[in-house]
Each structure stands twice: as structure tokens, then as C-alpha cells.
Amino acid sequence: MNFIKIVEALIAALYFCGAVVNVGGAVAGRKKAVRAGAALTLCGFGMHTGVLCVLIAAQWSTELTRSDFYFSLLAWSLLLIFFLLWWRLNASFLGLVAAPLALILFISSMTLGGTRLPLPPALSGLFFGLHIGALFTAIGLLAMACAAGAAYIVIEHKIKTKEKLSGFFKTLPPLPTFDKMNRLAVAAGFPLYTLGLISGFIWAGFTWGRTFSWDPKEIAAIFIWLLYAFLFHQRVMIGWQGRKTAWMVIWVFGLTIASMLGINFLLPTHHSFKS
């Protein structure tokens, strides 16, 4: 589909310009540039939505077997969460992370091409959809909270050590804004992550006949879930906030990404992107 390829190149170009203008604007402290960058990214996002819809509508059974589709979908859900957070929490600074990350994911999706995933009989589509949807939303939230957490840690350290906030740091919002991202990633992200895991296991039960098969990815996921659960408990029950929770979200997100890229590409697993 040549038309789709052209549109994809256009989307990548929009994401690229959006990311450059956004990051440049944020570093130079120009609000208008940040907005313009976000607007470019939003244009790309709109076209991206269209492309995804077309792909799913036209040939959804084959698309679901393509690894590039998932990267594209992850880029899309990341941006969706970014725009929602901007709209609800006025967290424009997240564009610093969301725009470049979406760009990288999208370009990887374009370069990956059509490597295949062994795909399930149609029966289990619901659980598979839940598995991908819930996990990707949780990962998107984690990515945003990870960026916010890094900012929190740096600024908190500066305040603690009485260092002056200057230049770029001065333009960032106050500490509670970053902590709000963290709360969202924990309070909403953890249930979603749990849902994603459970639906994955159920789907595996339907498709492979075994819910748990000691796949490296499954082991990693359980480990991350335990860490996530601990964070959820400390944050929601004990009332942890600030630095510790910021660090933990960074760990959870880092491990998730590591397991996604490392295990999916390098180790023998059901989740491999290689055919």
C-alpha cells in the first residue's frame, strides 16, 4: 500500500518537526514554540489515528500479526496519553519526552517491516485486545511518570541542596505537578498493568493451552508486576510520595522497556518480534 507508506513518511516528518520544535522551544524557554511543536505533533497524531483505523479496518487479522503495527500502536497510545495529560493537568513539559519517544517508536515501526507473530485463532481476540490495550496504556502512563519523576528528582535535589534553579529548570512547574503524574501512573497504571497481564494469561490459556509457560517475558512481567504492586501499596496505603515513588516509577518503566526490547528481540520467547 503505497499510499499508506507516503502518509507514514508524512507522519514521521510531522513527529520529527514537532519533537524538534517542542524540545527546542522548551530548552529556549519559548512557550509559543512548545505549542507549535505540540500542534505539529497533534497533526501527525491525527493522521496516525487515521492510518491505524484504515489498517485495522482493511486487514485487521494480518495487521495484528505484524510487529511494526505494535510499535506504531505504542507510539500512538503514548501520544494519546500525553495529549490527555496536557489537556487535564496542563503538563506541557511532558512533550519533551513524549514527542521524541513517539518519534523513535514510530520510526522503528516503519523500519521493522513485517516480521510475523504467531497469531491466535479468532476466538480469543477480546483478551488479546485487552492484553495489548491495557498494557500499552500502562506503559504510556509509566513513560510520562518516568519523565516527570526524573524532573522531580533533579528539582527536589536542587531545592534540598539550596542550589539555584536557573534557566530551563526555572520554567518547569512546581514539584506537586510532577508528583501528580506519578500518582496517576501508579493509581491508574497499576490496575491497567494487572488487567493486561491477566488477560494475557487467559489468552495464552486459550491459544497455547497453558496459561503460564515459563516464557522469559512472562517471568520478567511477573517480576515487574511485583515491584509495581509494592509501589502501589506504598503510595496508596502508606502515603509515600515524592522522591522514593519517583525513583520506583523510573525503575518499573526502565525494566518494562528493557523486557520489551531486550527479551522480545534477543531471547527465545512467545513474544518475539522475529518470525
Cell matching residue 38:
505540540
Nearer to another protein, 83 or 240 (CB): 240
Region of 167 on the Ramachandran plot (φ > 0 left; ψ -120 to 50 alpha; else beta): left
Q: Which stretch binds another protein (CB under 8 A): 4-12, 71-79, 111-119, 159-167?
A: 159-167
Which residues, 6 or more positions from 273, have their beta carbon under 8 angstroms from its beta carbon?
Answer: 67, 112, 115, 117, 264, 265
Q: Which stretch binds another protein (CB under 8 A): 71-79, 127-135, 154-162, 203-211?
A: 154-162
Three-state SS for 66? strand
Length of the chain measured in residues: 275
Nearer to another protein, 113 or 174 (CB): 174
**Binds another protein (CB under 8 A): choice among 83, 86, 206, 240:** 240
Q: Is 159 in the site for another protein (CB under 8 A)?
A: yes
**Binds another protein (CB under 8 A): choice among 113, 160, 214, 268:** 160
Distance CA 25, CA 32 (A): 7
**Site size with another protein, rule: CB under 8 A:** 19
Nearest CA to 227 among 250, 248, 206?
Answer: 248
Distance CA 91, CA 127 (A): 32
Chain-centroid distance of CA 104 in Å reads 12
Q: Least CB distance from residue 156 to another protein, whole Å? A: 9
Residue 66: strand pairing partners: 116
Q: Is 28 in the site for another protein (CB under 8 A)?
A: no
Q: Least CB distance from residue 90 to another protein, whole Å? A: 11
Q: Is 239 in the site for another protein (CB under 8 A)?
A: yes
Q: Least CB distance from residue 141 to another protein, whole Å? A: 21
Nearer to another protein, 29 or 118 (CB): 29
Structural contact between residues 231 and 186, judged by C-beta atoms closer than 8 angstroms: yes
Residue indicated by cell numbers 512547574: 173
- Here's the x/- map for another protein, 219-238, by CB under 8 A: it reads as -------------------x
Q: Is 32 in the site for another protein (CB under 8 A)?
A: no
User: Which chain residues interact with another protein by CB under 8 A?
Assistant: 155, 159-160, 162, 164-165, 170, 173-177, 238-244
